[in-house]
Amino acid sequence: MSIKPLKPLEAPVETPTIAETIAQTSVQPTSTDQLLALIATMQQQLVLSQQQAAESNAKLAEAILATTKPRETLKTAKEIAQEANQKMFDDQAKELRRRQKLNIEADQNNCEHIAGCNPLSEERDVRGRSSILWHKTDAQVVVGICTNCQRFFRPDDPADARGNNYEFYRRKPSINRMSQSGTRQFLDPLQAMKDGTLRDS
């Protein structure tokens, strides 16, 4: 069994720098070949440094562009807490309004719109007159409001939960006198009558 001698490591081939090339060749460039080799090396160095400059310029441009992007402002813990509180209050207020609306609707559906039918009233009107206050608008539309439940009455009302429509309540004698505004002339009387009874959204 023979031991093979280790192969000697090859020395890495290094590209001579411009200075080295000049040092080697500046003494006496004796031939055209040497001159051409010198020029070729210098050209290679030039191309390399141009490439490096282009790369670093691109990185610099990218960094400058990044500074122009709008930054998200960071909220403080106090601001976050305040926003959470505000949202909670808003949600509670919305829920309260929703329940109030439901209560009002329920009250209006339960109300008979008869004078004195309110639970707080002493006695229901013995003649069964309505608690509706009627009003004739300047467009000659008669609208009403119940003084018990604040329900509004308009000519285009659909029948209510009791199956009674506007005409039914309009025919009933009321305990209140009808009020009336002045009279106006409208270019489009029908449109004015319609606009005079706009519904809440």
Q: Which residues bind Zn ion (CB under 5 A)?
A: 111, 113, 146, 148-149, 151
Check: CB of residue 139 under 8 Å from CB of residue 184.
yes
Which helix or strand (DSSP H or E) is residue 145 part of? strand 142-146
CB nearer to Zn ion: pick between 154 and 194: 154
Query: Are 197 and 156 a contacting pair, CB within 8 Å?
Result: yes
Closer residue to Zn ion in complex, CB, 143/149: 149
Q: Minimum distance between the CB of residue 99 and Zn ion, rounded to whole angstroms? A: 20
CB of 120 to Zn ion, least distance (A): 13
Contact criterion met (CB below 8 Å) for 102 and 123: no
CB of 125 to Zn ion, least distance (A): 13
The three-class DSSP label of residue 17 is: coil
Between 137 and 144, whose beta carbon lies closer to Zn ion? 144
Q: Which is nearer to Zn ion, 170 or 194 (CB)?
A: 170
Residue of 133, 144, 135, 139 lying closest to 194 (CA atoms): 139
Nearer to Zn ion, 45 or 147 (CB): 147
Structure tokens at 168: 């039914």
- Which residue matches tokens 């807490």? 81
CB of 177 to Zn ion, least distance (A): 18
The whole-angstrom separation of Cα 46 and Cα 74 is 47
* Least distance CB 111 / Zn ion (angstroms): 3
